Amino acid sequence: MSPKPLAPLAKRLMKGVIALELLGVLGAYALFHRMNSSQGDLSLHFYYQSNEWAGIYGIRERDREVWASRRD
């Protein structure tokens, strides 16, 4: 069995993997953008939680300070 017949299959599989990765990146960006621009309670909770999981802290507190200063 020669490797030539597998080459087209390997190319199609690689293109499929790249397409799935691209869709995943675009989906993650769309979700981040939606959470970043929405002020709904559930969206905000997931936005802050995902940033804290990523090691980014202080966004929730900074937003509370900004919102408190706007009310005064």
Domain that holds residue 16: 1-37
CB 47 within 8 A of CB 56: no
- Name the pTM for this structure: 0.50
Same domain, 47 and 16: no
Same domain, 72 and 43: yes
Same domain, 29 and 43: no
Print pLDDT tens along the chain (72 aa). Answer: 555 777 888 899 999 999 999 999 999 999 888 877 776 777 788 888 989 999 999 998 998 899 889 886
Same domain, 5 and 32: yes
Q: Which residue is associated with the tokens 């507190």? A: 61
CB 51 within 8 A of CB 61: no
Structure tokens at 51: 């940033």
Same domain, 58 and 72: yes
**Structural domains in the chain (count):** 2
Same domain, 5 and 29: yes
